[in-house]
Structure 1
Amino acid sequence: MMTPHTNSPASTASLRMHLAAALVLAIFALPAAARAQSSPPQTPSSDQSPDAGPQTDNGTIILKKKKDPDADEPPPPPAPETPKVKNPDNATYSLRVDVPIVNLDVNVVLDKTHQFVPGLKPANFLVLEDGVEQQVQTVRMAQTPITAVMLLEFAANSYYLINDMRNASYSFFQTMRPDDYVAVITYDLKTHILTDFTNNKDVVAQSLQTLTIPGFSDTDMFDALYETLDRTSRIEGRKYIILIGSGRDTFSKLTLDKILAKVKATPNVTIFTIGTGAFLNEMSGSRGGMSSGIRDLNYLQAQNQLKTFAQMTGGLSFSPIFQGELPDIFSQINNSIRNQYVLTYRPTNTKNDGRYRRVKVLLVDNEGHPLQMQDEKHKPLKYSIIARDGYRAKLPVE
């Protein structure tokens, strides 16, 4: 049976010496990184701020981070709270301010020669809206291409009327320029579109050449003008209607009052009228008799309707007796269409009530007196101001 081995005191002391030596060697064998991790963190010196940059191997100088120049500035005060207004039923409402601007086309022509009067200044125009003076902001000259509808009466009632219409329509056709757009519409019992808007003069000429044999003798001018106004209102910009006819109306569904209301309500449309049958009326009037008086009365009423359409829209109305008058007539129309003043103002009445506002344009001198014109011999010249007589204000829902 074996007994446990007992160390002597000498052997125990030798063992302790060997263990101490091994411990010293192990400590020196530890990596430098381990000793660094085991060392306690150093406290930053008094001249080194906590936000100092990282240490580098280039020396003992440490570059501090650049401070934000606005860091020392006090923060801006908070924006004041928007006052909250509690609407009924917690509903949300939006407010839109719509300031209307009126653009008014004005033509000034001499009564004797029908020539356009150039060179007028903004101070020469006095605009009254419902009798209240308006501040004219801008006045400029305009000479632009035209967009026009030739509305022609083509009915089996009289050869003279058809011949007058043909001569007048061909005279206007000759004044077309390459950048003008023209549509051709005829009317008797109904309206007939011969050609839509085109700047091709050949197409317009071909459509006019088809006017040979009329179908009906009725002339529903009110209905035809209403439909034409309705079509042109869908086109942007200024439009013109060249209405060539006798001015008579037979079986239109619309009355004169309704067509006048339509003319008022249609913006940016100017109507020029060429009355046919003036020579025929002169010939029949020379015969005398009761029938001649009635015919004269009907003719005058028809011509008055044509003049009313033109005056309401700032156009011109003519009743030529001879064909030789047509070139001068369409020269005046072209001067009126292509040369005009465009006035801009903000109406003092800003209500969107849909009511008709009557507008009147006057010419004044520097002292506010009516403007007087003279020729080279200092003789007074009479002139006419051609402009729409008003416009219809917008409705709140527009």
Structure 2
Amino acid sequence: MAIPGGLSGQQPRPQITPRPKPGADTPESDRITPNLRIDTNVVLIPVTVTTPLNQFVTGMEKENFRVFEDKVEQEITYFASFDAPLSVGLVFDASGSMGSKLSKSRQASAQFFKTANPEDEFFLIQFNDRPQLVVPFTQNTEDIQSRLTFTQAKGRTALLDGIYMALQTLKKAKNPRKALLIISDGGDNSSRYTENEVRTLLREADAQMYAIGIYEPIGSRSRSAEELSGPGLLSELTEMTGGRNFPVDNLNDLPDIAAKIGIELRNQYVLGYMSKNQTRDGKYRRVTVKLNQPRGMPPLKPLHRQGYYAPTQ
């Protein structure tokens, strides 16, 4: 079992090497990227396993995992730990308060894209007073980085509307694994959609959500009530999906954190099971993943989505 960086000593900075895009001279056998071809009745649960020091744990086997749905244990019929293709939406805050933070936020996006798999697809939504789909799904990350170069900060913050639009856009994704990355500096003060509406859509979306929150210091007089509630809102929404919220105090940390999120998405296990509850009632079912703790390892923690809606037909 491998833990990147080991369990002792000073942790090295993540080394991120772009994956080469397959060219015409690449052997066909080397171009094949494993895809998830699974019956639609299989419930897929991406899981990240971490140590108390937040290191990723790789090399675990199917026998190390147990899955429960509404407290009933399920049989894991599908298990994978390869780097499966992703469909990812970048939701980028372009409100007025982002002015001095745009440069580092662009760098963060660039570092995130360096972790991409050639089969991944991405889209870009920017938001201020309202959200806008600036770049539809593309495999060319340079398209998104080029558009970010011309982003200007102005207006208010329609964060929830941006997330809502991104979740709707993800419905057109071609890859089974889906994720959102939110880069924002505060709470919402301009959305039409409510927190409850976004929570409901998140439960339906089968997508992981990560957020980088660039907040003013807690003691800052310039923080509004919306900004004060921002960290709690993003933490709650991301944890629902098995993702995480990363608060940032130092702008220089932004690129490294974005790279860490990209690496985390590449160090996941995918568990699949056929639910023992075959009732097609459309109800929300809670999912819990437990670990059979490997010997000699520190206490490990699984991060995963908290549930899903059953089909109705």
Indicate which of 158, 164, 167 corresponds to 1:226: 164
Q: C-alpha deviations, 1:208-251, integer Å up to 9, x for none? A: 1111x3342x1111112111101111223222211110241112
Residues 231 and 136 of structure 1: is their aligned pair in 2 closer, same or farther, counting only changes over 3 Å? Answer: same
Contact kept? 1:246, 1:303, Cα under 8 Å: no
Residues 297 and 373 of structure 1: is their aligned pair in 2 closer, same or farther, counting only changes over 3 Å? Answer: farther
Residues 373 and 242 of structure 1: is their aligned pair in 2 closer, same or farther, counting only changes over 3 Å? Answer: farther
Q: Kindly name which structure, 1 or 2, has the bigger radius of gyration based on alpha carbons.
A: 1
> Within 5 A, what are the aligned runs for 1:52-91?
none
Indicate which of 264, 281, 285 corresponds to 2:217: 281
Question: Partner of 1:314: helix, strand, or coil?
Answer: coil
Indicate which of 98, 110, 115 corresponds to 2:51: 110
Give the percent of matched residue pairs that are identical in Structure 1 and Structure 2. 28
Deviation at 1:392, TM superposition (A): 0.3
Question: Partner of 1:104: helix, strand, or coil?
Answer: strand
Q: Which runs of 5+ in 2 are unaligned?
A: 1-38
Q: C-alpha deviations, 1:109-156, integer Å up to 9, x for none? A: 2231x3321222222211111111112223221212332111101011
Q: C-alpha deviations, 1:181-224, integer Å up to 9, x for none? A: 2222100112222222222243222111111x3342x1111112
Supply the RMSD in Å over aligned alpha carbons.
2.4
Moved more, 254-263 or 135-144: 135-144
Contact kept? 1:168, 1:274, Cα under 8 Å: no
Task: State whether structure 2 residue 115 is matched by structure 1 residue 175.
Answer: yes
Tell me the distance in 2 between the aligned counterparts of 1:177 and 1:127. 28
Question: Partner of 2:238: helix, strand, or coil?
Answer: helix
Indicate which of 322, 340, 362 corresponds to 2:250: 322
Count of residue pairs brought into register by the alignment = 274
Task: Indicate the structure with greater strand content.
Answer: 2
| Residue matched to 1:303 | 231
Tell me the distance in 2 between the aligned counterparts of 1:136 and 1:174. 32
Contact kept? 2:130, 2:191, Cα under 8 Å: no
Deviation at 1:108, TM superposition (A): 0.8
Contact kept? 2:67, 2:75, Cα under 8 Å: yes
| Residue matched to 1:383 | 300
Tell me the distance in 1 between the aligned counterparts of 2:256 and 2:307. 29
Q: C-alpha deviations, 1:313-363, integer Å up to 9, x for none? A: 111221122244334423432232122211121212110000000001010
Residues 391 and 117 of structure 1: is their aligned pair in 2 closer, same or farther, counting only changes over 3 Å? Answer: same
Contact kept? 2:69, 2:286, Cα under 8 Å: yes
Tell me the distance in 1 between the aligned counterparts of 2:41 and 2:116. 34
Residues 373 and 297 of structure 1: is their aligned pair in 2 closer, same or farther, counting only changes over 3 Å? Answer: farther
Q: Which runs of 5+ in 1 are unaligned?
A: 1-97, 365-370, 376-380
Tell me the distance in 1 between the aligned counterparts of 2:93 and 2:137. 19
> Which TM-score applies when normalising by structure 1?
0.63
| Residue matched to 1:157 | 97
Contact kept? 1:281, 1:296, Cα under 8 Å: no
Task: State whether structure 2 residue 160 is matched by structure 1 residue 205.
Answer: no
Tell me the distance in 1 between the aligned counterparts of 2:265 and 2:126. 22
Tell me the distance in 2 between the aligned counterparts of 1:205 and 1:161. 16
Tell me the distance in 2 between the aligned counterparts of 1:125 and 1:263. 25
Question: Partner of 2:173: helix, strand, or coil?
Answer: coil
> Within 5 A, what are the aligned runs for 1:1-398?
100-112=41-53, 114-211=54-151, 213-216=152-155, 218-236=156-174, 237-267=176-206, 269-277=207-215, 280-281=216-217, 285=219, 291=221, 295=223, 298-364=226-292, 371=293, 374=296, 381-396=298-313
> Which TM-score applies when normalising by structure 2?
0.79
Which residue identity lines up with residue 287 of structure 2 in the other structure?
V
